[in-house]
Structure 1
Amino acid sequence: MGPPKIEKPADTGSTDCRDPSRGKQGERVVASQNPVTTILKTKLRPPVMVPGLVERPRLTHALQQNPQRPLTLVSAPAGYGKTTVVIQWLHASNTQPAWLQLDERQNDLRSFLNHFVSAIEMHIPVACVNTIALLQAAQMPPLGVLAETLSNDLDAIEEPFVLVLDDYHLVAEPAVHELLEDLLRYPPRSLHLVLITRHDPPLSLSALRARGWLTEIRQDALRFSQPEVRAVLQEMAGTTLSDTALAHLELEMEGWIVGLHLVGLLLRSHAEPEEFVLSLKGGSQQVQDYLLEEVISAQPAMIREHLLKISIVDQFCAALVEALTRVDGMTDAQMTGRDFLEEIRRSNLFVVPLDVQNEWYRFHHLFQNLLQGQLKRCHGNDEIAALHLRASEWYEVESLIEDSIDHALAIGDSQRAAEIVERHSRAMMNEDEWHVVEKWLARLPDAQVMNRPELLLARAWIHYYRLNVTAIPPILDQVDELMRKDPEISNLSGQVAFFRGFSELFKGDGVTSLKHINYALEHIPLTDHEFHAETEIIFGLAGQMQGELVRVTQTITGWLAAPSPLHPIRETHLLITLSFVSCIAGDPMGAAARLKRIRLVARANELEYPLAWCDYLDGIFHLQRGEVDLAIGFLKKALKRKHSQHARAAVDAIVALAIAYQLRGQTNQAEATQRTLVEFVNNLGPLFQPLADSCALRLAVMQGQSEAVQRWLGLPTPGVEVMLFWFEIPCVTRCRALIADGSAASLKTAQERLHEYAVANEAQHNTCQLIGMLCLQAVAYQKQGEQEHALNCAEKAARLAQPGGFVFPFVELGPPMAQLLIQLRSNKVGLELIDRLLSAFPHEQADSRRVDGIEQTAQVVAMPTSSLPQRTSKSINAPTDALTNRELETLELLSQRLYDKEIAKVMSISIWTVKSHVKHIYEKLHVNNRRQAVARAEELGLLAGK
């Protein structure tokens, strides 16, 4: 089944560079409101504006000239001062930006988007909540869904803001480029995106340029002019050169600021600055190499050695410097890490401060590259490997695990990398960050994983969360083999027992399942709250399957009543388990009673996943009780959360919504929901295709589409599964179709299968599914002319349904079931539920004066289409209602990305009138937001010039 995945709320304390768990000075890491992963705070802050920079008003003016444009592109090779210019512009315009410093790790969509929204959250708290919910999903939604959700989240931000993505050239993942492409197709009105890159990104820049949506700053503009070169050298070295020397320097450096910086550093100590400048020849690359080497060689030996050693890391603080530069286990007493940082800051040695506390720094990329080259020339491979090992050890102590793995793999030490993952994977899994562990495992050689049971079990959990359960047994076999060879790793036996119990449950063997699960509960410590909570769900389901509902309920209630507060993961799992078993036992209202507390816990801890479960379960419970309008309301909410939900439950919710619409006679909505289901399942993969097919068949039965039913019956028969509380069971819907077909052979086959299913569900104490089996059996018997058997099944179903108030399994079957219920009532069967059941049928079906005519009008086992409100001639994709002239004018201004107050000013109307026009536009175009309205208007040719 794959029970709920519930995330722990993150700790948002700031940290120092020595210990990221302590809330002190350095702000090394941030666990943002988005709990998907840990983010380095230094990546989410712009570099500090250092004093003494030469002002470049021509560039800041160019950047500021069109702030309403959605995209600014600053593109030039390394060393042209791209980031500095952007910082100067933001400082000059008094703009506090959202900032993201990218690196190669953002080359997957989840990581990129997680960092993207975290950067915005640093600037605008509680932004992008819907996107964050999608990021918590076990399986990422389709790119289009992510892009639209993100765009809507951004469009909901009222105040304009700037988001800078620095070093965008490091992103090679096509999906990231596609995401930005989609975002910029209909840009959110509040967003001004700035891309800083060494080369043009693969975006439709020409289209953006043609629409006037792009500001560009390129290499030619970034080149320093002769007056700017003079100002730089004067600021850095206090040197004034002749026009001839300046012209020569400008020619050789091609306006390249890093080269000018190097010259300025060397001129500080040069006796003949003019002569030195005129001697520089050979083009910018050759001059660059020469100047960099000159700058490094001019440093004191200790500084030079420190520079080389710390070049292996991308960011550094005092403690990391000391870890890398210690000699024989001792830090050089003559220079602490902080002393070194002060020295290179004072010397202006191409260091970029990353925080206002001056804790974290990085080198300019070109300078770092040169230092790394010299390190290789000056030190042997063993010495360099020792440096990487020190870095790996330091990062691991500071809980910066990905950095630790990076440095282990940088020297080919896959064994250490595997040991790091082994030590930290369980903690990450317990924080529900299994997809991070998945990335770690993917970086390890398979041989390292196959001999480590901890890593094998981590892989098994990942398959479990992805519902790829068939991949788990071979992993367990390998773990068993390793445990036989090494008894000391028996502490993992609880996890193995969990997977064995899980497997047996879904074979329908509750006895064996419960045996394994009881063992797992004893051997999985409560500190592993994620694993323990998953085990407790299977404990509940297996116990219910064995008829131990009372014991299961009492046990779980006792756990919930523990004197110390429960971890939110465990508490929510336990409450959901009680809902599951109550529903299976035929008590949907008892199950629903648990949902209130789940919602309280989930909202208090900002947990999206259990809220999705609540919407689904509430919808199913109300539908089973015949409260269709309430069910539709909850199921529509579940549909909106489908990407945040357990995949099987999300699919089940969409099926239930389609069937609920059809029960209401809303065929258009039912079919639209079915199309949504098909699209959703196509993205999930083939595992869920039988459920989409089954929904289509079930709708065909309800709509009386006999030809469609016949076509579906020609397909292979679905397999039998443990039915639990699921609404849609393909093998059962196939029986619905066989009964609808009505031939003797079909009815016989349906009856045999239904008997088998009923016996299995009765043995498993699954009252919820048994009621449905009996209802179908009753109608099958009726069609075969076996009225007594039909009435017996109908009465048994009604007696089981009465305590929980089940209505839907009867009403779905339409006139044939109504006839049986009327007959039961005339036989004086004393069940209060029968009158309630009959009242839920359309009047003409439940009228006892028309008993003889019911069978004649019912050609299929369902409420026939003729008895339902008919489909209107207006389809979902029908032409829009005519927009008024003022609405068209408003729509045109929406397309120009104006705010409501700006539209009101242009049209000389109140902001409330604007909101009214916008509301009517949404209704007439059948859309939900501005982005969709503009896109729909373009499709219909409603915008001028489109």
Structure 2
Amino acid sequence: MLEPDLLGTKFTVPPVRSRLLKRSHLLTLLEQNRRVPLTLLSASAGFGKTTLLSAWASQYNGQVAWLALEEQDNDPMRFWAYVIAALRKAGAPVGAPAEALLHSSQSALLTGALTSLINELANLEQDIALILDDYHVIREQALHTSLQFMLEHRPPNLYLLLASRVDPALPLARLRARGQMLEIRETDLRLHTEEAGQFLRQVMGLTLTEEEIALLETRTEGWITGLQLAALSLRRHTDASAFIQAFTGSHRFILDYVQGEILELLPEDQQRFLLYASVPTRINAEICQALTGEAASQQALEGLERENLFLLPLDEERRWYRFHTLFREVLLARLQTSQPEQFLRLHREAALWYQRQGWAHEAIPHALATRDYVFVAELLGDCVERLSLQGELKTLLAWIKQLPTGVLREHPRLATSYLLIFNLLFPFSQQEQEEKTYLQQLQESVEQLLQSGNHTSLPAIEQDRLRKRLLILDTWKLAKKALSAGNMEQLSKVAEEMQHPELDDDALWQQHGLAPFAMSWRMAGNFPPMVTAIQKIRQRARIAQDRSQEVHILWGLIAAQIALGQLREAQDCCQDLQQLINSLKIPLPLAAYPTLFQAQLAYAWNQLDVAHRAARQAIDRTLPLQYMDILMGAYEVLVRVCIVQGDLTGAEQALSEMEQANQAAGIPLFRPWIEGLKAHLWLVQGNLAQAVGWAEHTPYRQEALTYSVYSRESTYLILARISLAQQNYPQALQLLAALLSSAERLSRAGSIISILAWQVAVLQASGARQEAKRVLSRLLTLAEPEGYTRVFLDAGEPMYQALQAWLATEQKLASPVLATYALDIFTAFARTPGETVVQPGTSLSSTTQTCPASPLLEPLTPREQEVLYLLAEGASNQVIAERLVVSLTTVKKHVGSLFLKLAADNRTHAVALARELSLL
């Protein structure tokens, strides 16, 4: 995962100038910031807000995180990436989990990212002050909301200081009423007569009388920039008194005054340097040379700083500078008025210089300033891949939309990228008519280009690429429509009919081109094409040695393998995924997928303690992030384990948490899943009437009889179990037959095994014992290679009876492997003394006891046990390799396997869990 392009000068505290007006009373006031969550410095430009904060930061005895904000920081991902970088620069080791969520295209994960960041900050021992300078440039409401969230939930060791020209869109009145805000405003920042005298004499080096100082202070109203401008002019006047008498006017007058009294008195070459160098917001010698042609640009910059010509250093090395904002505005206004052709040329040169550095956030605004949108489109085409890898999709979306429709028609790659990004960021949004029309026009323009004869200039390979992009976009439309409407039949049709195209494209399409197909395939349960597509992408990633991309697709492959009943392969891939996560230090939520899969595999193999621990761990790690794909799967395992272990209170609690998480996320797709688990719990509690009442009024029964969708399969199985509990065997068998037909058609062996288990139970309970034995033989044959256990036990007393009958008549006819497997399953049904009679269709959860199971998914091998002992001693991988006389790669493989089997995050966690399980 690439880091975004972050300029170090933005989170570097501006150095304090040697000749600085000391404002002790304001510094003392700022020291009170530890008493309140927010300190606000709000005043017009030129009142010394930044200078005051940098002076305070230089004497603060805690950690100071500084961030100078710009227009480009209105992207939430970029804004918070900079905040995290600033916190790290200050010495706070935080932000890895939050960054993972910021890189996600799901905007809903922003709150989760902030929750993670706040929790990490709360664990720091030292106080930290976060200073956001120039906050007035932030206009994105999502950022105001997210900053308010941080304020409301901030840890007690975090203090926020904002400098802004306008009051920020935060609940200031509420904070003020509660005494939770310290305010420093324009009246506080104005220089009084004594301070004005110190500034003019000590900082600007002028010799003035008290009367002259008082007059200047009155004329400028204590505005420090006005005093500085006046002082620069005074240096060039022999009669100071006459100048001061004539010096009058508003701030606007003073800005106009700069041109005549400062710029025109400078040498022509220095004027030219100032005007040309004012185009970028930050400058160094290299970009100044590119813009001005001045080979001695570094010396020129240092000279301007010595002359106090409003040039402020941004680092201690004096490499990067910026002009005072108002002074730069004057320079730009003069440049645009006097040399309009140079104004556009310089913006173009600045854009090209930044593009060569790989700094898209600086290049594109300069390109846009040229108003040459073809030029902008060309630059955007060069940075789509990099910014998409960095997760800055919202920034890309905003930039591309600034291009006129006519330009986008001539750049179909950008048009299609805009459409894909929009789908990724707003997959289920209700669009305004204007937005719908715009999106439709964009896609139609690409379609028309390919259909007409105007595409002859496009190479054949480019035409093919665009057609494949359009196919992906069409699939998005169909999948979104089906999911939003809850039309599972249509979704199944999409999944079956659409073939994922082979993509030779940029990173944006390589990473996300599979998304609509995978979404359709997964929800419809059509996993074979999903596995094929992922395996091909995985192979390409391996050839390209792109291990990061392999992580991003491997979890989807494992989910498909489990659904296809390939538990052993899933376990192997899970181990590969865990090793990649460990070696690449992949953060949450991806880092939690192996834990979820461990829980699901452990439940299938009846390793209940491991399943419970892994499910709980997956929930704890992803609940703050509201990552629903992992949360829902982990909650399902937790509910089922609690039911099996007889902890019905725990099952109710887990179900309640599951429902609350889904309500907060607002995802209707999980609703049937949750309802089915509730009905399952009612059956176990003996509340058959409530379960029947739900079954009679749910719309899912009729859907299951006409077509089956994987996302609701567990709900349909609960309906069959309710029919079994009612002894309505024909209805149960009819439903199961419909489910089996669908699963067989899509070769979904995991589903087939579950359905066959309940067919055995229904047939046995109904008295069709010969048919039950026949189905059981098929079930045992399918389940044995993968070691399924729990699926038999969950089917309850009827399954126990069917196994007993099968062993009595079929055991000798079956293969030794299958006979041993059936006997092992039967043994797991061993009853406790005094067991009550189990009614047909009920679970043996609370009335049977499974044989003591190993605490691990698989027992440790002798070599893994040796590695575990050495880990407990604190040995490094290299030391372990030397002690065991094996390669370092082999050691890493054994360590990864240990982490997987123990469901551990790291070495310390693995050793602690091993001690709990008496493995050490």
Cα drift, residue 785 of structure 1: 4.8
Q: Compared with structure 1, are the counterparts of its residues 99 and 627 closer, same or farther at alpha carbon in structure 2 (3 Å cutoff)?
A: same
Amino acid at match of 1:666: D
Q: Is the alpha carbon distance of 1:209 and 1:189 closer, same or farther for their aligned partners in structure 2, counting shifts above 3 Å? A: same
Cα offset, 1:196, TM superposition: 1.4
Query: C-alpha separation between the residues in 1 aligned to 2:286 and 2:792?
Result: 71
Moved more, 434-443 or 634-643: 434-443
Q: Residue type matched to 2:787 in 1?
A: G
1:446-845 mapped onto 2 (5 Å cutoff): 448-449=407-408, 452-459=411-418, 461-462=420-421, 468=427, 482-483=449-450, 485-486=455-456, 488=459, 490-491=461-462, 493=464, 520=502, 523=504, 530=511, 566-572=545-551, 576=555, 579-580=558-559, 582-608=561-587, 609-642=589-622, 647-682=628-663, 683=665, 685-705=667-687, 706-711=689-694, 713-717=696-700, 729-742=711-724, 748=730, 750-782=732-764, 785-829=767-811, 831-838=819-826, 840=828, 843=831
TM-score normalised according to structure 2 size: 0.77
Pairwise CA distance, 1:708 = 4.8
The number of residue pairs the alignment matches comes to 812
Offset from partner CA, 1:894-918 (integer Å, 9 cap, x none): xxxxxxxxxxxxxxxxxxxxxxxxx
* 1:355 maps to 2:315: yes
Q: What residue is the counterpart of 1:118 in the other structure?
A: 85
Q: Which runs of 5+ in 2 are unaligned?
A: 430-435, 480-490, 850-920
Per-residue CA deviations over 1:9-45 (Å, capped at 9, x if unaligned) read x4xxxxxxxxxxxxxxxxxxxxxxxx3x322211111
Corresponding residue for residue 878 of structure 1: none
Q: Give the secondary structure class of the aligned counterpart of 1:594.
A: helix
The CA deviation at 1:81 is 0.5
Q: Distance in 2 between matches of 1:537 and 1:779?
A: 34
- Structure 2 residue identity aligned to 1:669: G
Could you tell me which amino acid in structure 2 is paired with residue 707 of structure 1? Q
- Which AA in structure 2 matches 1:58? H
Which deviations, in whole Å up to 9, do the C-alpha atoms of 1:718-759 show, x marking residues without a partner? Answer: 8689999x9x73144124224404599976555344324323
Q: Residues 636-667 of structure 1, C-alpha deviation per residue, up to 9 Å, x if partnerless?
A: 23223437697545433333333333333333
**1:273 matches 2:219:** no
Query: What is the correspondence of 1:339-418 to structure 2 with a 5 Å cutoff?
Result: 339-380=299-340, 382-418=341-377
- SS across alignment from 1:362: strand
Q: Secondary structure at the match of 2:262?
A: helix
Question: What residue number does 1:241 align with?
Answer: 208
Name the amino acid aligned to 1:133.
Answer: A
> Cα distance, 1:164 vs. partner?
0.9
Are the counterparts in 2 of residues 822 and 846 from structure 1 also a CA contact under 8 Å?
no
Query: How far, CA to CA, are the matches of 2:778 and 2:442 in structure 1?
Result: 45
Alignment deviations for residues 679-719 of structure 1 (CA, whole Å, 9 cap, x no partner)? 44342544554544454455445545442553355243386
Partners of 1:613 and 1:561 in 2: CA distance: 20
Call closer, same or farther: CA 1:376–1:583 in 2, change over 3 Å.
Answer: same
Alpha-carbon distance change, 553 to 805 in structure 1, aligned in 2, over 3 angstroms: farther
Aligned counterparts, 1:227-306, within 5 A: 227-291=194-258, 293-306=260-273
- Listed one character per residue, the Cα deviations across residues 750-778 of structure 1 (whole Å, up to 9, x for unaligned) are 53443243234334432212101212333
Q: Which moved more, 1:215-224 or 1:457-466?
A: 457-466
**Alignment match of 2:15 (pick from 43, 48, 70):** 48
Measure the CA separation in 2 of the matches of 1:823 and 1:259. Answer: 99
- Cross-structure match for 2:890: none
- Over 3 Å counting, the alpha-carbon distance change for 1:55 and 1:493 in structure 2 is same
**Aligned position for 1:128:** 95
Query: What residue number does 2:859 align with?
Result: none
Contact kept? 2:707, 2:738, Cα under 8 Å: no
1:63 shift after superposition? 2.1
Deviation at 1:439, TM superposition (A): 4.5
Provide the secondary structure at the position in 2 that maps to 1:776: helix
C-alpha distance in 2 between matches for 1:217 and 1:753: 71
- Residue 150 of structure 2 aligns with an amino acid whose one-letter code is L
- 2:896 corresponding residue in structure 1: none
- What CA deviation, in whole Å up to 9, does each residue of 1:66-108 have, x standing for no partner? 6454433222221110111111122234666211111233334
Alignment of 1:110-189 (within 5 A): 110-124=77-91, 126-141=93-108, 145-189=112-156
- In structure 2, the CA distance between the partners of 1:754 and 1:310, relative to structure 1 (3 Å rule), is farther
Q: 1:208 to 1:723 in 2, by over 3 A?
A: farther
Whether the 8 Å contact between 1:498 and 1:535 is mirrored in structure 2 is no
Q: Contact between 1:128 and 1:153, CA under 8 Å: does it hold in 2?
A: yes
CA-to-aligned-CA distance 1:597-633 (integer Å, 9 cap, x gap) = 3222222212125422212222211121121221222
Provide the identity percentage.
25
CA distance in 1, matches of 2:736, 2:405: 46
- Deviation per CA, 1:797-825: give whole Å up to 9, x if none: 23311221112333333334334334434
Structure having greater relative contact order (Cα 8 Å, sep ≥ 6)? 1
Separation (CA, whole Å) in 1 of partners of 2:448 and 2:76:
37
Q: Is the 8 A contact 2:673 2:714 kept in 1?
A: no
Normalising by structure 1, we get a TM-score of: 0.75
Distance 2:286 2:614 in 1: 53
- Are the structure 2 counterparts of residues 50 and 614 from structure 1 closer, same or farther at C-alpha, using a change threshold of 3 Å? same
Counterpart CA distance in 2 for 1:833 and 1:357 is 73
Distance between the aligned counterparts of 2:784 and 2:441, measured in 1? 45
Amino acid at match of 2:838: I
- 1:451-503 deviation digits (Å, cap 9, x = unpaired): 54423543465477569499999998876664453451524736865996996
For 1:772, give the aligned amino acid.
Answer: S
Displacement of 1:118: 1.6
Contact 2:103–2:390 under 8 Å retained in 1: no
Residue type at the aligned position of 1:490: I
One-letter amino acid of the counterpart of residue 600, structure 1: Q
Query: 1:262, CA displacement in angstroms?
Result: 0.7
Gaps of 5+ in 1: 1-7, 11-34, 326-330, 869-946
Relative to structure 1, the CA distance from residue 602 to residue 864 in structure 2 (aligned partners, 3 Å threshold; closer, same or farther) is: closer
Summarize the Cα distance change of 1:828–1:497 in structure 2 as closer, same or farther, 3 Å threshold. Answer: same
Q: Which amino acid aligns with 2:604?
A: Q
Would you say the 8 A contact 2:286–2:297 is kept in 1? Answer: yes
Which range is displaced more, 802-811 or 645-654?
A: 645-654
Counterpart-to-counterpart distance in 1, 2:597 and 2:374: 46
- Residue 162 of structure 1 aligns to a residue whose secondary structure is strand
Q: Is the 8 A contact 1:762 1:770 kept in 2?
A: yes
Matching of residue 318 in structure 1 with residue 300 in structure 2? no
* RMSD (Å), alpha carbons: 4.5
Structure 2 CA distance for partners of 1:202 and 1:493, relative to 1, 3 Å: same
Distance 1:757 1:426, change over 3 A: farther
Describe the superposition over 1:504-524 as per-residue Cα deviations: whole angstroms up to 9, x where unpaired.
Answer: 99858999877x65xx27x56
Q: Contact 1:414 / 1:444 at 8 angstroms: preserved in 2?
A: yes
Paired position in structure 2 for 1:854: 838
Counterpart AA for 2:461: S
- In the aligned structure 2, how far is the partner of 1:465 from the partner of 1:862? 42
Tell me which moved more, 600-609 or 177-186. Answer: 177-186
- Bigger Cα displacement from structure 2, 498-507 vs 712-721: 498-507
1:576, distance to aligned residue in structure 2 (A): 4.6
CA distance in structure 1 between the aligned counterparts of 2:630 and 2:447, rounded to whole angstroms: 32
